[in-house]
Amino acid sequence: MSEIEANVIFSIENLNRDYICALDKLDMNKWLACFNKQGTYTLISNENESNGLPIGFMLDDCYERLQDRVTQVVDIQEDSTEHYQTRHMTQLTNITDLGDNKYKADFNFTVFYTQDLIEQTSILGAGRYEDIILVENGKVSFIQRKAVLDTNVLPRYVPYPI
Amino acid sequence: MNATTPPHLKWPANADHTAVPYSVFNNQEVYDLEQARLYNGPTWNYLATEAELPEKGSFKSTYIGDTPVVVTRGQDNEIYAWVNRCAHRGAEICRERHGRSEDGAYTCVYHQWSYDAKGDLRGVPFQRGLAGKGGMPKDFDKKQHGLRKVRVVNYHGAIFGTFSDDTPDIEDYMGEDVAYHFKRIMHKPIEILGTTRQHIAGNWKFYSENTKDPYHASLLHLFHATFGLYRSSQKGESISNNDFHSVLWASGGTEDESALDDMKKDKLRTLQTGEYELQDMSLLAGTQEFEDNVTLVILSLFPSLVLQQIQNTLAFRQILPKGKDEFELVWTYFGYKDDSEEVRNYRLKQFNLIGPGGLISMEDGESTELCQNAIVRDGEYTNVIQMAGKEASGDDHLVTEGLIRGLWKGYKELMDF
């Protein structure tokens, strides 16, 4: 990571911060704004990822799917799922220059959640992000954000992206 | 079922399959009795798909009820299963979810007693002692100390196990209609696409009810109803076999207009036709891969399995009880080995619909927990299961709770409540 320019590291950290703050505030439009028009989002268990199996909890393979994820969370499932407050803790572990202003970035994450009715805090999951990030013309955005969960048995269902 | 049921566990006089006492969901004694009478009783329990045991030496760890079980493929290519508990001192032998034993041996790490794929004891370290000291008694017979074995059957690519000698033939067990729909989905070799696992803080039978309940599907799942994947107004049927087992099927795009009008009059929260549009319509594109045009099948095989087809998504859902108020739901997703790339892509896209994050399935976990939260006391109080009458039977429509009544009728008899 020492070969990566400081302003690139700063941009990537900023993008990740925007992303996790958007989710913790459940501001799905700001979540969507972290992706560019080629953007994809995957939430998958490490069990499937390490066995080369494609199934994930969420497989938003195009920008339109990301838009539909926003609609799903904001409008469709609003009163049929129990809301919980998340707190995402992340740590940048690696950046690799892929050329053409693209970077592969890895973060570790832990997500705490507090359900409205229960008001006790537990860990929703821990894992890693595997990102492809575009840093271009002063803008930074995800081409890919893949969240790989170490937590193979989720403590509940997952209505929101991680 | 040798022991008699303790009187305090018998259902109150006003309870039957239309009015079930909440004690079945919140009582530790009931839970323990279920492990004895259901899971160790005359039931077939889903263990694995054959596709997960592709070669000699393959194994998978799972459960029957809350008893840990390992399914293996032996060197003779046959499939076996045994309780994952060393005959010596009770330690867990297999500590991986799945894998392959190169030499076909399964060795307990504690004292290295080793077993073959059938569960027969093959090796006991220091059996004859060291330098004339110690060792097992001379009359120690390894044949008498194998693992507790599970009787298995491979039914069209799915492996089921039972502890009981009284469990009937698998097809007789599930019944004619359930067997037909099982074979309809499992009509050719499958390919595993992945697994997801979720913990649900509710009694496992709330989920069994849920999968026999077409009444809720239009009302709880907004995505379902709004985008027409399933509505109670569609052409469909609820079928009950041998009380416990059931099939719900529906054909998308076969709206009975008068029924749909009735739904609209009810101003349902979940029926928002025209309100929302998908930007990515390919999620619902898919392909009609079955000649009967049935787009939704929920096959419930008591006590542990749900086999589903929703659009082009195919999955086994295994219900694993972990206590009176918690269970684990394991989803194993599959396609067919001969899927074209196009069909495979349809499936992958549509898997967004199901599973722990599924657009049309996540609320089922929520409803289960909502019920559990509210029945922590008042075990003698009963629910009301009377939609479409009081008979424990199927119907030629989807506005019914008849299959749930079937579940409880069979449950009451088998549990001797």
Parse chain A into domains and list their residue ranges. 6-149
Q: Does A29 touch chain B (CB under 8 A)?
A: no
Give the list of residues 6+ apart from residue B105 with CB closer than 8 angstroms, or none: B114, B115, B116, B122, B123
Q: Does A118 touch chain B (CB under 8 A)?
A: no
Contact A154 B198 (CB under 8 A): yes
**Do B149 and B184 fall within a single domain?**
no
The CATH number that applies at residue B367 is 3.90.380.10
Q: Does A82 touch chain B (CB under 8 A)?
A: yes
Chain B residue with the nearest C-alpha to that of A65: B280
Whether the Cβ atoms of residue B223 and residue B257 lie closer than 8 Å to each other: no
Element housing B177 (H / E): helix B176-185
CATH 3.20.20.70 matches A6-149: no
The pLDDT value given to residue B262: 66
**Do B181 and B105 fall within a single domain?**
no
Cα→Cα distances A140→A28, A121, A146, B171, Å: 18, 33, 17, 59
Q: Does A61 touch chain B (CB under 8 A)?
A: yes
* Minimum distance, in Å, between the CA of residue A42 and any CA atom of chain B: 10
**For chain B, the helix, strand and coil percentages under 3-state DSSP, each to the nearest 5:** 25, 30, 45
For residue B165, is it within any domain?
A: no
Nearest Cα residue to B309 out of B397, B248, B388: B248
The pLDDT value given to residue A106: 98
Chain B residue with the nearest C-alpha to that of A47: B195
For residues B57, B62, B65, B67, the Cα torsion angle rounded to the nearest 10 degrees is 70
Chain A residue with the nearest C-alpha to that of B226: A76
Whether the Cβ atoms of residue B98 and residue B62 lie closer than 8 Å to each other: no
Residues of chain B contacting A, Cβ within 8 Å: 97, 192-201, 220-223, 226, 269-270, 272, 276, 278-280, 283, 328, 333, 348-349, 351-352, 355-357, 359, 362-363, 365-366, 369, 373
The pLDDT value given to residue B228: 66
Rounded to whole angstroms, how far apart are CA atoms B332 and B341? 20
Rounded to whole angstroms, how far apart are CA atoms A46 and B18? 43
Contact A57 B196 (CB under 8 A): yes
For residue B402, is it within any domain?
A: yes
Chain A CB contacts of B201 under 8 Å are 156
The CATH number that applies at residue B63 is 2.102.10.10
For B52-169, where are the E strands, in sequence order?
Answer: 58-64, 67-73, 79-83, 98-100, 106-107, 114-115, 121-123, 149-155, 158-162
For residue B7, is it within any domain?
A: no
| Residue that wins the pLDDT comparison between B49 and A138 | B49
The pLDDT value given to residue B261: 67
For residue B37, is it within any domain?
A: no
**Do B185 and B312 fall within a single domain?**
yes
**Do B54 and B139 fall within a single domain?**
yes
Give the list of residues 6+ apart from residue B272 with CB closer than 8 angstroms, or none: A76, B222, B225, B226
* Minimum distance, in Å, between the CA of residue B122 and any CA atom of chain A: 31
Q: Give me the residue from A54, A79, A159 closest to B362, CB to CB.
A: A159
Amino acid residing at A9: I
**Do B150 and B182 fall within a single domain?**
no
* Minimum distance, in Å, between the CA of residue B328 and any CA atom of chain A: 8
**Do B195 and B273 fall within a single domain?**
yes
Rounded to whole angstroms, how far apart are CA atoms B111 and B148? 18
* Minimum distance, in Å, between the CA of residue B30 and any CA atom of chain A: 24
Cα→Cα distances B343→B37, B147, B348, B350, Å: 43, 43, 9, 11
Contact B280 A62 (CB under 8 A): yes
For residue B22, is it within any domain?
A: no
What is chain B's length?
A: 417
Whether the Cβ atoms of residue A55 and residue B196 lie closer than 8 Å to each other: yes
**Do B214 and B320 fall within a single domain?**
yes
Rounded to whole angstroms, how far apart are CA atoms B318 and B315? 10
Q: Give me the residue from B220, B222, B355 closest to A76, CB to CB.
A: B222
The pLDDT value given to residue B398: 86
Q: Give me the residue from B222, B272, B283 closest to A80, CB to CB.
A: B222
Chain B residue with the nearest C-alpha to that of A158: B357
For residue B29, is it within any domain?
A: no
**Do B186 and B97 fall within a single domain?**
no
Q: Does A75 touch chain B (CB under 8 A)?
A: yes
Annotate B212-276 with DSSP letters as a single string: T-HHHHHHH-HHHHHTTS--TTEEEEEEEETTTEEEEEEEEEEE-HHHHHHHHHTT-TT--TTT-
Element housing B371 (H / E): helix B362-374
Whether the Cβ atoms of residue B233 and residue B262 lie closer than 8 Å to each other: yes
For residue B341, is it within any domain?
A: yes
Number of Cβ within a 10 Å radius of residue A30 = 14
**Do B401 and B265 fall within a single domain?**
yes
Handedness of CA B210, B290, B191, A129 (dihedral sign): negative
Strand partners, A94: A106
Range of the domain at B401: 175-415
Contact A53 B357 (CB under 8 A): no
Contact A45 B280 (CB under 8 A): no
**Do B253 and B107 fall within a single domain?**
no
Residue pLDDT tens, chain B, 417 long:
457 999 999 999 999 999 999 999 999 999 999 999 999 999 999 999 999 999 999 999 999 999 999 999 999 999 999 999 999 999 999 999 999 999 999 999 999 999 999 999 999 999 999 999 999 999 999 999 999 999 999 999 999 999 999 999 999 999 999 999 999 999 999 999 999 999 999 999 999 999 999 888 878 877 777 776 667 778 899 999 999 999 999 987 666 666 666 666 666 555 566 677 788 988 888 889 999 999 999 999 999 999 999 999 999 999 999 999 999 999 999 999 999 999 999 999 999 999 999 888 888 888 898 899 899 888 999 999 999 999 999 999 888 999 999 999 999 999 999
Nearest Cα residue to B81 out of B34, B42, B44: B44
**Do B281 and B316 fall within a single domain?**
yes
Chain A CB contacts of B354 under 8 Å are none
The pLDDT value given to residue B18: 96
For residue B384, is it within any domain?
A: yes
CB–CB contacts below 8 A, A to B: 117
Cα→Cα distances B281→B278, B311, B359, B365, Å: 6, 14, 14, 26
What backbone phi and psi angles, to 5 degrees, belong to A9?
Answer: -60, -45
Chain A residue with the nearest C-alpha to that of B359: A72
**Do B49 and B137 fall within a single domain?**
yes
Please write the tens of the pLDDT for every residue from A66-96. Answer: 999 999 999 888 777 888 999 999 999 999 9
Rounded to whole angstroms, how far apart are CA atoms B238 and B100? 41
Count the domains in chain B.
Answer: 2
Please write the tens of the pLDDT for every residue from A120-131. Answer: 899 999 999 999
Write down the ipTM of this complex: 0.93
Annotate A31-55 with DSSP letters as a single string: HHTTEEEEEEEEEEEHHHHHTT---
Q: Does A65 touch chain B (CB under 8 A)?
A: yes
Task: Tell how many helices (H) and how many strands (E) occur in chain B.
Answer: 11, 17
